Every structure is written in structure tokens, then in C-alpha cells.
Amino acid sequence: MMYHLRQALLAMRANFTATFSTLTTMTITLLVLGAVLLLTLNVNRTLEQLEAQVEVAAFLKDDANIPALLGQVKLYQGVHDARLVSREQVLAEMTRDYPYARDAAALAGNPFPNTLRMRVERVQDSRRIANIVQALPGVATVEYGANYVDPAVKTLNAIRTAGYGLVALLLLGTLFNILNAVRVAMFARRNEIGVMRLLGATPAFIRMPHLIEGVLVGLIAAVVSVSVLAASYLELAKRVAQLVPVFPIVTDLNTIAPILVGIALLSIVIGLLGSLFATSRYLRELE
Amino acid sequence: MIDFNHVTLEYPVTRTLALEDLTMQVARGEFIYLVGHSGAGKSSFMNLVLKRALPTRGEVRIAGEPLSRYRGRRTPLLRRRIGTVFQDNLLLHHLNAYDNVAFSLRVIGVPQREWPQRVTTALRTVGLEHKKQALPLQLSLGEQQRVAIARAIVSNPPLLLADEPTGNLDHENSREVLKILQNVNLRGTTVVVATHARELVETFRHRTLTLRKGRLVRDDPDGGYSL
């Protein structure tokens, strides 16, 4: 094994440019992947918080059959909870936020309707449920915060999807980079490989230094990227928590650590896979 | 040891007929020459024995086993039973003579503790025990070829193939290499030498097979060079 390790290190040194280029691409890819994953983690946390807060409010007509409506909406799929807020309770809430509301009500009467407030299980269901409830008899209008819920969900999902797309492309690029680097290394050793084959070396023996090379590149890229990611994310999280305390940024190490470990393992697996493909193909061409 | 039965070899890309209906046997422990002009089929014969090419028709058997039995991952097992020496000695220039010979043992997985004794014996056989630390470029062409022979015999293969082993050597070194190959043969190894060197074939007489345009035209048990 020491022989193979030494050969791998010699190959990496002899083809420094190709190795360095692979290492750089791989590190950048892992950094972007890590950033996307950590962003997704925070997006999911934000969505969860949004979901916990978003309510669909149905403003009822005076002649609405309130008990029947309440019973009906509770049966809808996606409705987590539904409750009636009477017009008096609405006025009290409004007076708490806007003290002049009571004076206005004293002059012109309570303008607020009885309201059904529904909590949804997923924020994406808000529009669907609002449309269904809107069509019910006795419902005047429905409000579900469309102005901010829809764009927020769309934006967060778009960021997440674009991030995954970018990472997929970068991973593919990294794989090709490793294929190329290992191929260059094998070509540089072609005389030695030719002699090995004549002497009866097995394919496993011939490819071993290159598999080690792939794993080493993956390992180095993993160490660099995970270190940079961890340090910069924790620093960023600290600053965000100070600047925007309401933003639910994840700082729990038990939640972040599995992502970082996953990135490191992925890096090593990609290094190994790239080398496996490259060596198999090169040896097949020699047959 | 080697059994060719109506073997034809046509290279697929160039459609060159390298060997045509070749039937011959080499017995265990024999020393034979394979002679012929360039393109006569000597190297193609070697390629078939080493399974670097497969016959288009006919059957090749090595040590009683058909070549087809050495498929895929078994090909290295065949090559471990055959020592090879080429005109270009194929030494690794970053390794000294000792390491070049030991490389053969490393490749086939011989335990490292056995290397010193086996490598030293092989280098002694070719008369280069005193130059084991020398890099190939510090050796003469004749000495390099002798190191290549040591590498070929260190694993004690039952068969040794030498393709133009004296092609790059002067008269004196050529004779030296031939003597070494004869000594290897005297220890029981079957030796096949493909050569152009008329003088050597005439001097060190052994069974001689003559190829012409891929066909066996002469099989002379007493030797002698006649194209």
C-alpha cells in the first residue's frame, strides 16, 4: 500500500497543474454546494416559521351560518385549525393595535365582520384553501396574505432550485476534471503501465495509485471546503443574528454538522468515482 | 509448451494478414529461433503467445491450456508465466537495476522479504550483481539488456520470449546476451528468440523456424539461417 501511496503522490506532483486545477474546481464546487445546502436549511426554517404564522381569514356576511361554516372548513385537507373570531373580538384586537379604532366604532358602529381564521399545514396550500372558502355561501371575502406569501414561497423555491441546478452542473464538471487529471497521470505513466501489463500486473494493481490519487484530491478538497464553509457560515450567522434578530438563522452545530460531513463524504466519493471511470476506460483502451 | 494449430491472425483495422494457417509446437525446455524478414510474422507470433492479440482462426495453447481460457482478469495469470525481453529493453529509467528487477516481483505480489535473494540471484545470472545500484542510463546497452533478462527470469517463468533481444547491440554484447539466454534454457526454461541476427543463429545452433509472409516455410531441428 505504501508503494501505491508513494506512486499516487509522485503522480500528483508530476502532474501538478492538472491536479491543482481539479482540486480548485472541486473545492469551489463543494463551497457552492455547501452554501446552497446551508441556504436551503435556512429557507426551510424560514418557510416553517411562515407556515406557523400564515392564516387564511374568511370575512363572513351578517347572515352566514357560522357553526355550519366552521364545521365545514375544519374538514378541508390542509387546514390545520379553524376558529371563529367574533366582530367584537376583532374590534378589541384592532383597538389594541390602533387605539383610535374604538372612537371610530363609537361614531359609526363596529365595521368589522365576524371572521373565520384558519391555520394551514403548508404555506403553499394557502391559495387553494382561500379559493375554496371564498366560494362558500355566507363568505364575503377571503384574505391570506397573497401579497407576501406567494412571492416569498416562489422566491425561496426558485433560489433553492437554481442552487441545486448549479451544484449539479458543477459536480458534473468536477467529475470530468478528475477524469481528465487521472487520464493525464496515467498517460504520463504509460511506459510503466505497459511494463506492468507485460509482467502480469492485475488491473487492480495498475489502477490503485490513481484511485488513491482521486481519493486524496477529494479528501484535500473536502478538508479545505468544509473548514472554509464552517468558519464563514458561523461568522455570518453570528452577524445576521445581531443585525436581524427575528430572522430564524440556524446556528445549532448538531444540525449543521451532518451537512458538512455529507459534503466531505461526497467529495471523497466523487474523487474515487472519477478515478474509477478514468482508469477503467484507459485500461479498456489498452486491451 | 506452445502449440499453434492452424492459426491465422488478421489485424482487424488494417486487414493485414500477419500469420496464415500456422501449425507448430515448441516442447517444454526447448530453445528455438524464429527467423524471417520484417513483417514475416515473428512479432505477431509473440503477440499471440502473450495474448496481446487473439487468433482470427485456429487455436493457440500455452502449457496445454487454450488461450481462450485466459479471459479478462485471467490474462495477467498467463503473462506471469512468460518472461519477456524486447529489443527496446523497456527498463524504467527512474529505477536502478535492482529495483527494475524487483519491480517484476512487486507487480506479481511476491513478499518483499524474498526480493533480495531472488533479485541478487537473477542479477548474478546475467553477471551484473556488482551494478545493482546503477540507473539504466549509467549502463551500456548490453548491460541494460542483461538487466531486462534478469527482470524477465526473476519470477522463474517456465517460458521466456525474446523479441529481437540483440537488435540494438554490437557483436560482442549480442553474443553475451545469447549465452545468457542459453544458460537460462539449460535451467529448464523454454526459450523462444525472434531474431534477424544470422551470425548468432549460425553460431549458437538450435531448432530454427523460418517465417515468410506469415507462413511457416522451414522448420530445421539442426538450426541454420536460411530465408
Span B160-178, pLDDT tens digits: 999 988 888 888 888 988 9
CA angle, residues B71, B72, B74, in degrees to nearest 5: 65
Q: Which residues contact A218 (CB under 8 A, 6 or more apart)?
A: A26, A267, A268, A269, A270, A271, A272
ipTM score here?
Answer: 0.83
Q: What is the pLDDT of residue B77?
A: 87
Q: Per the domain annotation, does B225 fall within a domain? A: no
Considering only CB atoms, which chain B residues are within 8 Å of A200? Answer: 76-81, 107-108
CB of A202 closer than 8 Å to CB of B79: no
CB of A117 closer than 8 Å to CB of A57: yes
Pairwise CA distance, residues A209 & A261, whole Å: 25
Task: Compute the nearest-CA separation of B76 from chain A (Å).
Answer: 4
Pairwise CA distance, residues B28 & B61, whole Å: 13
CATH class of domain segment(s) A55-144: alpha beta
Q: Per the domain annotation, does B167 fall within a domain? A: yes
Regions of chain A where pLDDT drops below 70? 51, 146-147, 149-150
- Could you tell me which residues of chain A have a Cβ less than 8 Å from any Cβ in chain B? 3, 191-192, 194-203, 205
The grid cell for B135 is 540507473
**What is the C-alpha R_g of chain A?**
30
How many residue pairs bridge chain A and chain B with CB atoms within 8 Å of each other? 41
Task: Compute the nearest-CA separation of A21 from chain B (Å).
Answer: 27
Task: Compute the nearest-CA separation of A202 from chain B (Å).
Answer: 6
For A271: left if phi > 0, alpha if psi spans -120 to 50, otherwise beta; the answer is alpha
Give alpha helix (H) positions in B59-140: 75-79, 97-107, 115-125
- Which CATH number do you get for residue B150? 3.40.50.300
Beta-sheet pairing, B2-11 with B57-62? antiparallel
Q: Per the domain annotation, does B104 fall within a domain? A: yes
- Chain B residues 69-108 with a CB less than 8 Å from chain A: 73, 76-81, 84, 90, 92, 103-104, 106-108
Q: What is the pLDDT of residue B90?
A: 83
* Candidate from A3, A195, A202 with C-beta closest to B76: A202
Q: What is the pLDDT of residue A224?
A: 95
How large is the greatest C-alpha to C-alpha distance in chain A, in angstroms? 104
> Do A198 and B84 lie within an 8 Å CB cutoff?
yes
Q: Per the domain annotation, does B135 fall within a domain? A: yes
* Candidate from A191, A199, A203 with C-beta closest to B107: A199
What would the pLDDT profile of B87-143 be if each residue is shown by its tens digit? 887 888 888 999 999 999 998 889 999 999 999 999 998 989 999 999 999 998 889
User: Is the pLDDT score of B72 beyond 80?
Assistant: no
Beta-sheet pairing, B159-163 with B31-35? unpaired
Q: What is the pLDDT of residue A194?
A: 86
Report CA torsion sign: B52, B53, B54, B55: negative
Pairwise CA distance, residues B3 & B187, whole Å: 22
From edge to edge, which strands make up the β-sheet containing B57-62? Answer: B16-26, B2-11, B57-62, B65-66
Q: Is B226 helix (H, G, I), strand (E, B) or coil?
A: coil
Q: Which residues contact B160 (CB under 8 A, 6 or more apart)?
A: B82, B83, B84, B85, B152, B153, B181, B184, B185, B189, B190, B191, B192
Pairwise CA distance, residues A43 & A112, whole Å: 35
- Identify from A7, A13, A199, A202 which residue to disrupt to test chain B contact, counting B C-beta atoms within 10 A and taking the largest count: A199
Split into its structural domains, chain B has a count of 1
Q: Which residue range(s) make up the domain with B22?
A: 2-220
Q: What is the pLDDT of residue A146?
A: 61
Domain ranges of chain A: 2-50+151-286, 55-144
CB of A257 closer than 8 Å to CB of A229: no
The grid cell for A162 is 437554481
Cα–chain-centroid distance for residue A208? 36
Place of cell 464546487: A29
B27-48: average pLDDT:
90
User: Is the pLDDT score of B13 beyond 70?
Assistant: yes
The grid cell for A39 is 441556504
The grid cell for A262 is 455529507
B32-48: average pLDDT:
89
> Do B76 and A197 lie within an 8 Å CB cutoff?
yes
* CB-count exposure of residue A179 (10 Å: 0-12, 13-18, 19+): buried
> Do A197 and B79 lie within an 8 Å CB cutoff?
yes
- Fill in the amino acid letter for B186: L
> Do B79 and A199 lie within an 8 Å CB cutoff?
yes
> Do B104 and A199 lie within an 8 Å CB cutoff?
yes
Q: Is A47 helix (H, G, I), strand (E, B) or coil?
A: helix
Q: Per the domain annotation, does B227 fall within a domain? A: no
* Candidate from B73, B77, B108 with C-beta closest to A199: B108
Give alpha helix (H) positions in A16-145: 16-53, 66-74, 87-97, 100-108, 126-134
CB of B24 closer than 8 Å to CB of B209: yes
Backbone angles phi, psi at A86, to 5 degrees: -70, 160
Q: What is the pLDDT of residue A174?
A: 76
Task: Compute the nearest-CA separation of A195 from chain B (Å).
Answer: 7
Beta-sheet pairing, B159-163 with B82-86? parallel
Considering only CB atoms, which chain B residues are within 8 Å of A205? Answer: 107, 109
